[in-house]
Structure 1
Amino acid sequence: MTVRVVVADDQQLIRAGFVRLLEPEPDVEVVGEAADGRAAVELCRTARPDVVLMDIRMPVLDGIAATREVTASTGARVVVLTTYDRDEYVFSALEAGASGFLLKDAPPEELVRAIHVVAAGESLLAPAVTTRLVGELVAARARHRDAERQLARLTPREREVLPLLARGLSNAEIAARLHLGETTVKTHVAAVLDKLGVRDRVQAVVFAYEAGIVTPGR
């Protein structure tokens, strides 16, 4: 079975390089090229590729947004290709529906393999990306477990104080909110800092956000 491929990249030389790389493959056919994200989406709707090689940084519509539209409106599966290996791109690409993520300096045989793996309905991440991604998830879970242990040390009243402290309220404002004396609140705040093992109110704010006690915009 021949895998139909669309190449989307705003740099013509890179697009041409991918096309030349794939031309000798007997079971891969490049059915179109796109120089921006919007053109890639429209091309996928008409050419109906099996796989899209999608750059991230493109004009008109970036590769993440284009991936989201392609996966939502066509049956194509997307392999995101980039020179950048920053974690936020990996997470964004996966959230947008990408099935694969490769760096552009990957060996040619790895790219061809990625196309076949993704076309077969599986997912693929570059080895270096996978290692780092798993490491981040493990670290995040470890931080979450540590946060749970630290939060368990707080009294019910101290757990009421922490989110208010994290939202930037002063001792006087916390006291008014909880109908407590300001001296009592000062004692609770000191206990919270001590039990969480943080140096000051700023670190307590960071802890509260990392632990999910408060979220941005709330």
Structure 2
Amino acid sequence: MSAPPIFDAAFAAQFETLLRWRRDVRRFRRDALPAGVVEALLELAVLSPSVGHSQPARWLRVTDPAQRQAVQESFTRCNEAALAAYDGERARLYASLKLEGLKEAPEQIAVFCDHGTPRGHGLGRQTMPEMLDYSVVAAITQLWLAARLRGVGLGWVSILDPVEVAAALGVPPGWKLIAYLCLGWPEQESETPDLIRAGWEDGR
């Protein structure tokens, strides 16, 4: 058995910087990521812990234009409904926000949780079955950090109808949509979240 690594103070400082600069990217350059980058990132994501070692995450790279268009249309409908829930200045501010990078991001990944996976034999989820979903979220977080480490931006699009997206992508009925991710080179980077810079939490 090999000795465990020792992470020194310099590494700890770098890791804290990585966490602080991990942002939800909405504005992407359109140029493609180098070959093999997405595969390398996914190899790191699957190192994430999962309940009972069930590994329930299913990663689907979406490249088909018709499928991407269906996702874009779902976002448009859901975003219009979300906007209608706000009034006055809050509605104006919401309408000004860029909340997805679906038209620009060169890579798009739909992440599902396979609720029918036999792996793990139900260990750790008899009383909390939602642990399957949480395991997928943990893997996405790991992917997010791995991407930022390489300068790749990741944006999580949640303003979607999960049933519509699952149907458009033709996935098995036991798969639940957890996230729709956009990846690519960010147009710009900031330590401050976009929503804070836009004043979304200012109470206006």
TM-score with structure 1 setting the length: 0.21
Higher Cα Rg: structure 1 or 2?
1
The structure with the largest helix share of the pair is: 1
Give the number of the structure with larger relative contact order, counting CA–CA contacts within 8 Å between residues 6 or more apart: 2
TM-score (norm 2): 0.22
